[in-house]
Structure 1
Amino acid sequence: MFYCNTSSAQVPIGQWREHYPYFKTLFTQSSEQKTYCATPKVLLIYNKSDHDLRRISTINGLSDVEISAMIYDTDNEQLIIGYKSGNIDFIDRFDKIYNLPSLKNSNIIGSKEIKQITFQSGLAYVSSGIGVIVLNTQKREIKDTYLYGPMGIQMATVSVALHNGYIYAATELQGVYRAPLTAPNLADFNNWSKIPDLPNVNYSHLFTHVGNLYANIKDPDYWKSDSIFVFNGSNWQISSFLAGEKNYSFRNSENKLIVSHRDIVRVYNENLQEIDFFYTFSGIQPQPNDAVLDNSQYLWVADRNKGFIKIDPNKNAEVLTPNGPLGENNFSLSSKKGKVWMLPGAWTISLGGMFRIEGIHLFENNEWKTFSREGSAALDSVYDLVRTAIDPSNSNKAYFSSWGRGLIEWENDKEIMVYNNINSTLKPRPEYYWIGVGDIKFDKKNNLWITNAHVNECLQLKTSNNQWKSFNLFPYCNSSKGFVHLIIDDNNQKWLFNQRGNEILVVDDKASYDDVSDDNIKLLTKSEGNLPAGEEIYCAEIDKDGKIWVGTDQGVYVFFSPGSIFSENNDKGQQIYITQDGIVQLLLETEAVTAIAVDGGNRKWFGTAKSGVFLMSENGTELIEHFTRENSPLPSNAILSIAINDATGEVFFSTDKGLVAYMGTATEAKQDCNDLIAFPNPVKEDYTGLIAIRGLIGNSEVKITDTAGNLVYKTTSFGGQVVWDGKWPNGEKVATGIYIAHCAAPDGSKSCPVKILIAAQNQ
Structure 2
Amino acid sequence: MNQNIYSRLALIGWLWLAVSVGAKAQIGNWRSHVSYRSAQTVAVATNYVYAATANGLFAFDKTTNERMTLTRQDGLTDVGISRLLYLPDQSRLLIAYRTGTIDFLSIGQGGAPGSVTTTITTIAAATNLPDARGINFVSRVGNLAYLGTDFGLVVLNLAANDIRDTYFSQCTNGSPLPIYQTTVVGDSLYALTAPTASTGTVQAIRAVRYSAGTNLADPGNWRSVANPPGSPETLVARQGRLLATVNERGIYDRVAGQWTLVQALSVTPVRQFVSSSSTDAGVIVAAGSTITAPTAGTSTSALLTDPRDAIVDGNTIWIADAQNGVLQATNGTIRSSTPAAGPDRDVFSTLYAYPDRLVALPNGPQDATALPTNTASANELQVSADQWQALSVPGLDRGFTSAAYLTDTQTLYLGGFGTGLWQKTADQPAPVAVSLPATISNSITSLATDVLGNLWIATGGAQTRTTALHVRRPDGTFTSFPAVTVQTIEQLVPDDAGYIWMRLSVGNGLLVFDPQTNRTRTLTTVLGGGGY
Q: Judge same fold: TM > 0.5, yes or no.
A: yes
User: How many residue pairs were aligned?
Assistant: 480
Q: Are 2:281 and 2:293, in contact at CA under 8 Å, matched by a contact in 1?
A: no
Deviation at 1:490, TM superposition (A): 1.6
1:408 and 2:422 aligned:
yes
Cα distance 1:343–1:103, how it changes in 2: closer, same or farther (>3 A)? same
Q: Alpha-carbon deviation of 1:123?
A: 0.7
Identify the match of residue 237 of structure 1 among 237, 247, 259. 259
Letter in 2 for 1:385: F
Task: Give matches, 1:105-124, under 5 Å.
Answer: 105-106=125-126, 107-109=128-130, 111-124=132-145
Aligned residue number for residue 103 of structure 2: 89
| Structure 2 residue identity aligned to 1:493 | Y
Q: How does 1:532-611 map to 2 (within 5 A)?
A: 532=532
Q: CA deviation at 1:356?
A: 4.8
Deviation, 1:141, is 1.9
Which residue of the other structure, out of 83, 86, 90, is the alignment partner of 1:76?
A: 90
- SS of 1:190 mapped into structure 2: helix
Residues 8, 231 of structure 1: alpha-carbon distance in 2 compared, 3 angstrom cutoff: farther
| 2:14 counterpart residue number | none
Does residue 147 of structure 1 match 2:173? Answer: no
Amino acid at match of 1:188: D
Cα distance, 1:49–1:141 mapped onto 2, change above 3 Å: farther
Cα deviation digits, residues 545-602 of structure 1 (max 9, x gap): xxxxxxxxxxxxxxxxxxxxxxxxxxxxxxxxxxxxxxxxxxxxxxxxxxxxxxxxxx
Instruction: Give the structure 2 partner of residue 467 of structure 1.
Output: 477
CA deviation vs aligned residue, 1:396-426 (integer Å, no higher than 9, x gap): x221122344322333233332445xx3531
Match of 1:207 among 231, 236, 244: 236
CA contact (8 A) 2:166 2:217 kept: yes
| Corresponding letter in the other structure for 1:416 | V
2:253 and 2:262 in contact (8 A); partners too: no
1:505 aligns with: 511
Query: Structure 1 residue aligned with 2:444, among 433, 437, 451?
Result: 437
d(CA) in 1 for partners of 2:485 and 2:470? 14
Aligned to 1:399: 413
Contact 1:346–1:354 under 8 Å retained in 2: no
The one-letter code of the counterpart of 2:478 is W
Letter in 2 for 1:163: V
Matched, 1:346 2:356: no
Out of 322, 327, 335, the residue aligned to residue 353 of structure 2 is: 335
Are the structure 2 counterparts of residues 285 and 9 from structure 1 closer, same or farther at C-alpha, using a change threshold of 3 Å? farther
SS in 2 for 1:108: coil
User: How many Å apart are 1:451 and its aligned residue?
Assistant: 2.1
Q: How far is 1:214 from its partner?
A: 1.7
Are 1:170 and 2:196 an aligned pair? no
Amino acid in structure 2 at the alignment position of 1:523: T
**Among 500, 507, 510, the residue aligned to 1:494:** 500
- For residues 421 and 304 of structure 2, the distance between their equivalents in structure 1, rounded to whole angstroms, comes to 35
8 Å contact kept, 1:329–1:345: no
* 1:624-644 C-alpha deviation (Å, 9 max, x unpaired): xxxxxxxxxxxxxxxxxxxxx
Tell me whether 1:319 sits opposite 2:341 in the alignment. no
Equivalence for 2:288: 262
Kindly provide the amino acid, as one letter, of the partner of residue 228 in structure 1: I
Distance 2:178 2:380 in 1: 41
Q: Specify the alignment match of 1:719 in structure 2.
A: none
Partner SS, residue 96 of structure 1 = strand
Unaligned runs of 5+ in 1: 1-6, 220-224, 270-274, 428-434, 511-517, 533-763
Structure 1 distance, partners of 2:328, 2:59, is 12
2: CA distance, partners of 1:313 / 1:43: 27
Q: Which amino acid aligns with 1:30?
A: V
> Which residue is equivalent to 1:593?
none
After superposition, the C-alpha distances for 1:102-155 in whole angstroms (9 at most, x for unaligned) are 223333236333221101111100111222100012332211012366999653
Which of 196, 216, 224 matches 2:245? 216
SS in structure 1 of the partner of residue 207 of structure 2: strand
Alpha-carbon distance change, 191 to 152 in structure 1, aligned in 2, over 3 angstroms? farther
Q: Distance in 2 between matches of 1:305 and 1:151?
A: 35
**8 Å contact kept, 2:469–2:485:** no
Deviation at 1:22, TM superposition (A): 0.9
Match of 1:578 in 2: none
Determine the C-alpha separation between the residues in 2 that align with 1:334 and 1:150.
Answer: 44
Cα separation, 2, equivalents of 1:166 and 1:524 = 66
Distance 2:172 2:467 in 1: 64
Structure 2 residue aligned with 1:641: none
Q: Which residue of 222, 225, 238 maps to 1:192?
A: 222
Any unmatched runs of 5+ in structure 2?
1-20, 108-112, 196-203
**Could you report, residue by residue, the CA deviation over 1:446-472 in whole angstroms, capped at 9, with x for unpaired residues?**
221222336442321111111111111
Query: What SS is found at the alignment partner of 2:401?
Result: strand
| In structure 2, distance between residues paired with 1:453 and 1:313 | 52
- Aligned counterparts, 1:510-525, within 5 A: 510=516, 518-525=517-524
Q: Percent identity?
A: 21
When residues 493 and 136 of structure 1 are mapped into structure 2, their CA distance, relative to the original with a 3 A threshold, is same
Which amino acid in the other structure matches residue 415 of structure 1?
Answer: P
Q: 2 CA distance for matches of 1:452 and 1:298?
A: 51
Looking at structure 1, the residues matched to 470 and 253 of structure 2 have their Cα atoms a distance apart, in angstroms, of: 65
Q: Corresponding residue for 2:391? A: 371
Alignment partner, residue 299 of structure 1:
317
Task: Report which stretch shifted further, 185-194 or 523-532.
Answer: 523-532
Equivalent position amino acid for 1:293 in 2? V
| Structure 2 residue matching 1:26: 3-state secondary structure | strand
Corresponding residue number in structure 2 for 1:620: none
Task: Determine the C-alpha separation between the residues in 2 that align with 1:200 and 1:104.
Answer: 37
Does the 8 Å CA contact 1:21/1:328 hold for their aligned counterparts? yes
Looking at structure 2, the residues matched to 343 and 180 of structure 1 have their Cα atoms a distance apart, in angstroms, of 50
